[in-house]
Chains A and B, each alone.
Chain A
């Protein structure tokens, strides 16, 4: 074509004009901390595993499961007992209803059990250690370090799991006859079926964790310094002194209370204590001789052991926490025709989680608010009515009434048995728990603690989170005096938390783009059926519903490949690098910020252009 000068131009010749020079600010892709991740006491990367699960199909479910497992080894359990602070924080809740994260986690956990997915044993290879956050097998060379975990509850098991992945040799010692801690002895079967519990515990044990049941650790002593050799492949670990643990076998019904007979000594490089809080608090309640009073913790423990506590027809549970709910609901299942919870304040002040209270009420548990127990007799209790004063504190009114009850179960809180720390220097206590630093180490170097025995919210999830945190802190502590630069680069040699990314707030989202999608609801057994059995009350989601639920996730602050930025740039200044990969073409980007405004999940922001 003989194009006339200037009148007619060749296509795309405008690319010579680099309009990027117009900018005063530029868009960048960011990765923010989703509120669910932020709220999870176990530090799960929830957004990421939902991202995997959304794809649907077995490979995707497995990838999602492995992402959970990178942080939390108990997804199936979580999906049944976690109180889901993630859902409370979920930004979707401000659109319609929070994403059913817990339901999806349960689905994935159950899938893993069904499909037999495992975490591999750490091979005896020589690959360098790198911390992995995505649940991929950690090719960790054995470090040669031995760590003792005291307590096979959620905290201890979680610590054991993470420590094993990091290459350490772990031994768990638990005074009970079964592992699981409060998961087994505090949470009834109808909330957490035992086959699920066993499957997830065994999966950890199969990784090579040594479990010694019926073993109580009685003392911890420091050992003299034992320096190790100088080997470039196994850089000198800390010349820290180890610990000698004295423990003894206990067994039988009195195992929990009787001091053990013989003891043995073993050396460990570090210790993680997670003995929980298994001692029910006892308030002084004046009682007649034949009044039947027991504590909830013992009762539930006994039920697990197969005992049949003598509860009678009418059971009163004193207290307003989750344990009180569990005790009342268990009592019903054991045949009590009436279970009433007596609590000194009102419903909104109850420490028990809403879910528990709801389910208890559905099962016909009644509640006596603003009441305290003054006197217990065989067959009845004397209740005093309370009223709340200006500060919200209950005050006695002097009015009394009788409540028919065959048995009074006390659920007034739990104490930890801290005897193991007797005589250990530099350890301090407060309020019935042991003090720990931000790295969960007690005052004594090398002794760490977590779970219900340290000051914290007392939930399974928190305990699991402690286990992970302690494992990493222990690992860092064990590497503390390494001279090898590679180690310093690759991993924290002292326990430093990595600064968190900024939170992905709701205001940063553009929720227009999310389809209207009502939340999926898990099936529940009808109340009438529930109270007669210990069958699981709440069912799980099927695959299509779980995928649907996962896709309701807004992916706050993290790109999930919606192509909106790529599509909405008037200057064609974004390049697509992959299915969910984008790059700004700064040669042409004028900095208009449409991409940032139209990013549904707020994974972009504007920053000033460099001068």
Chain B
């Protein structure tokens, strides 16, 4: 049903329509509105689920692990520090093969503490064995949750739905919220692959030594790779029942004859597409590639979008997170996915943007892409960096070797 609705709320309603049986809530900005909405629904009797107010995110993930192992459909949400705090359990859930769905309302990770949006939280868990889906819009965020349950349960693998904190969670816009009867048709009830049942007891969570651990990990990898086939199927299913495109592996935008393609994840794609349209209108052959499924990394889909077109000369990867001392994260996966020829024949530049909630404006993007087209972009750079400030700080550090956190020093300089 079409509603003017806050993103968090839309997600809550979509999740509720998916009939979760156990919901665990621990508050962290900017996910709070999701769990609050779900809590209210449960309390009013609109949603028949157990709503557990737990004492930490670690407990939240642990509790949904227990619930999923018992055969209940389980859900939780977190962000940033919370995701890190539950990291041990995040890996555990994937290792045990439990079909948990979790919303990550992407937020920067401290120190320094920062409550605004970037992708560093989800990126830190990219190797945990969860499927990672990045929503571009609130519509997609809502839809991805419904698809996520189906995906998770078919694969017996947990799924993380990422949506940009504040930019999506707290934005009120038009969303066609999936309705109960639609979801009931699309999403069957949970049939666990393995379950804790006193009448058919098993021991779940054995200790596995060198003789078999590699094989277990291989199978986990295989499971993730199976998702590459399953995700498009689920998206196709969704289109059939809901009448719209949502999800999938990648979203190419005007890439067919592009000489420059911008690769990005999440809500920034909206701004990117606006910039692409403006540049196209000026005759510049620019396109965008949105990566919806970041894990497993959709190698074939990315190649299909970028490989084999000799007109493509440049790729600019917009990173919403940073690997300090190393550089880009998505870039590395991208390079590994592309063929030798493409990598050698195409210039790939990494631009780190929007860290800690700094807005990525159309104006900045246009400037950036303009320089990129002219070949005037370093291989690795930060968008809208206050170069004067950092150069002054670096000079001061060289001069005085002052101890203390650099953030404090910076703030002092900023006055």
Identify the A interface with B (CB < 8 A).
Answer: 1-11
Contact = CB atoms under 8 A, between A and B. Distances in A.
Given A6-B216, A7-B95, A7-B96, A1 B203 contact: no
B193 A4 contact: yes
B281 interface: no
Interface string B338-377: 0000000000000000000000000000000000000000
Given A8-B206, A11-B203, 11 more contacts: A1-B200, A5-B215, A5-B219, A6-B215, A7-B95, A7-B205, A7-B208, A8-B204, A10-B202, A11-B201, A11-B202
A353 B153 CA distance: 88
B194 interface: yes
B216 A5 contact: yes
A5 B156 CA distance: 13
**Interface of B: prevailing SS:** loop
Nearest to A3: B194
Given A1-B200, A11-B203, A6 B193 contact: no
Given A4-B97, A4-B156, A9 B194 contact: no
A308 B63 CA distance: 98
Interface in B151-210: 156, 193-195, 200-206, 208
11 contacts: A1-B194, A2-B194, A3-B202, A4-B96, A4-B97, A6-B208, A6-B213, A6-B216, A9-B202, A11-B201, A11-B202
**The 8 nearest A-B residue pairs measured at CB:** A6-B208, A9-B203, A2-B193, A8-B204, A6-B212, A11-B201, A4-B97, A6-B216
B331 to A, nearest CB: 34
Interface of B: 95-97, 156, 193-195, 200-206, 208, 212-213, 215-216, 219
B171 to A, nearest CB: 40
A7 B219 CA distance: 11
Between B95, B97, B200, the greatest number of chain A beta carbons within 10 A of the residue's beta carbon is seen for: B97
Contacts of A11: 201-203
Contacts of B205: 7-8
Contacts of B194: 1-4, 8
Contact of A1 (B195, B213, B215): B195
Nearest to A14: B203
Contacts of B201: 11
A2 to B, nearest CB: 5
A104 B206 CA distance: 58
Contacts of B95: 7
Contacts of B97: 4, 7
Contacts of B202: 1, 3, 8-11
A374 B96 CA distance: 104
Most chain B C-beta atoms within 10 Å of own C-beta, residue among A1, A4, A9, A11: A4
Contacts of A4: 96-97, 156, 193-194, 219
A460 B258 CA distance: 122
A7 B206 contact: yes
Nearest to B213: A6
A7 B206 CA distance: 5
Nearest to A4: B97
B206 A9 contact: yes
A6 B200 contact: no
Nearest to B197: A1
A6 to B, nearest CB: 5
A11 B212 CA distance: 19
A6 B97 CA distance: 12
A352 B313 CA distance: 123
Contacts of A10: 202-203
Contacts of A6: 206, 208, 212-213, 215-216
A484 B193 CA distance: 74
A418 B202 CA distance: 84
A8 to B, nearest CB: 5
Of A2, A3, A7, chain B has the most CB atoms within 10 Å of the CB of A7
Nearest to A11: B201
A10 B200 CA distance: 9
A295 B193 CA distance: 100
A12 to B, nearest CB: 9
A473 B194 CA distance: 75
A11 B204 CA distance: 10
A4 to B, nearest CB: 5
Contacts of A5: 212, 215-216, 219
Contacts of B219: 4-5
A5 B216 CA distance: 7
B328 to A, nearest CB: 34
A484 B346 CA distance: 109
Nearest to B211: A6
Contacts of B216: 5-7
A8 B194 CA distance: 8
A6 B203 CA distance: 10
Contact of A8 (B203, B212, B213, B215): B203
A5 B223 CA distance: 12
Nearest to A10: B202
A130 to B, nearest CB: 52
A1 B193 contact: yes
A7 B93 CA distance: 12
A3 B156 CA distance: 11
Nearest to B156: A4
Nearest to A13: B203
A437 B270 CA distance: 117
Contacts of B203: 8-11
Contact of A7 (B195, B200, B204): B204
A46 B202 CA distance: 52
A5 B201 CA distance: 16
Task: Choose among B96, B156, B195, B202 the residue with the greatest number of A CB atoms under 10 Å from its CB.
Answer: B202
A7 B204 CA distance: 6
Nearest to B206: A9
A11 B200 CA distance: 9
A177 B96 CA distance: 95
A6 B204 CA distance: 9
Nearest to B208: A6
A4 B223 CA distance: 11
A2 B156 CA distance: 11
Contacts of B200: 1
B226 to A, nearest CB: 14
A8 B201 CA distance: 10
A278 B212 CA distance: 90
A3 B202 CA distance: 9
Nearest to A2: B193
Contacts of B156: 4
Nearest to A1: B194
A9 B202 CA distance: 6
Interface centre among B95, B203, B204, B208, by most chain A C-beta atoms within 10 angstroms, is B203
A396 B202 CA distance: 91
A413 B347 CA distance: 128
Contacts of B212: 5-6
A10 B204 CA distance: 9
A6 B205 CA distance: 8
A11 B197 CA distance: 12
Contacts of A7: 95-97, 204-206, 208, 216
A2 B193 CA distance: 5
B350 to A, nearest CB: 38
Nearest to B97: A4
Nearest to B219: A5
Contacts of A9: 202-203, 206
